Amino acid sequence: MLSEVLGKFKEDYKDLITVCREKKDRLYFYVEDSRLREVVEHIFHKLGCRLSTATALERPDGFEVIYHFSHDGSGVYLCPTVFIPNKDNPEMNSITPIVRGAEWIEREMMEMFGIKFREHPRPEKLLTLNHPEKVDKPLRIGGK
């Protein structure tokens, strides 16, 4: 079942995804921001996966945002990754129109890294709202 889920997904989306790395029970792949929602729609609604979490990573040449979707019936994780090359004004599509549960984790990434998520329903601070210091993008390298 495990290999069937991964194999079918890779075949169905071979023109939209670039496989980055495959580990036991996990498929990490890049998808263009413009096609992210299409891929997430399939993962969430067609495959019935749930969003476990999402992570942001700053690289010297930009940012990566990785969504971790669990296919609980098989134990497989599908992890679409968007690369954002613009470090001065990082921006990408929000998946909240498809997966409402992504709202808080995207807010955290907005706040901690300064990544703007287009069409996010509540783009306000969450973690540092009442912080006594003016904290701005605290997880960015060099604090910028």
Residue at 66: amino acid letter: I
Q: What is the mean pLDDT of residues 99-117?
A: 96
pLDDT of residue 132 exceeding 70, the answer is no
Residue pair 99/76 in contact (Cβ under 8 Å)? The answer is no
- The CA–CA distances, whole Å, from 133 to 110, 129, 138 equal 18, 10, 11
Angstrom distance (rounded) from CA 78 to CA 20: 12
- The CA–CA distances, whole Å, from 14 to 18, 29, 68, 114 equal 7, 11, 19, 31
pLDDT for position 14: 85
> What stretches of 44-144 adopt beta strand conformation (E)?
50-59, 62-71, 76-84, 91-93, 116-118
Q: What is the mean pLDDT of residues 82-96?
A: 97
pLDDT for position 1: 53
- The pLDDT tens digits for 36-78 are 999 999 999 999 999 999 999 999 999 999 999 999 988 889 9
Residue pair 108/115 in contact (Cβ under 8 Å)? The answer is no
Confidence of residue 99 (pLDDT cuts 50, 70, 90): very high
Which domains are seen in the chain, by residue range?
2-143 (3.30.460.80)
**Nearest-CA neighbor of 96 among 132, 54, 60, 133?**
54
Mean pLDDT of the chain: 90
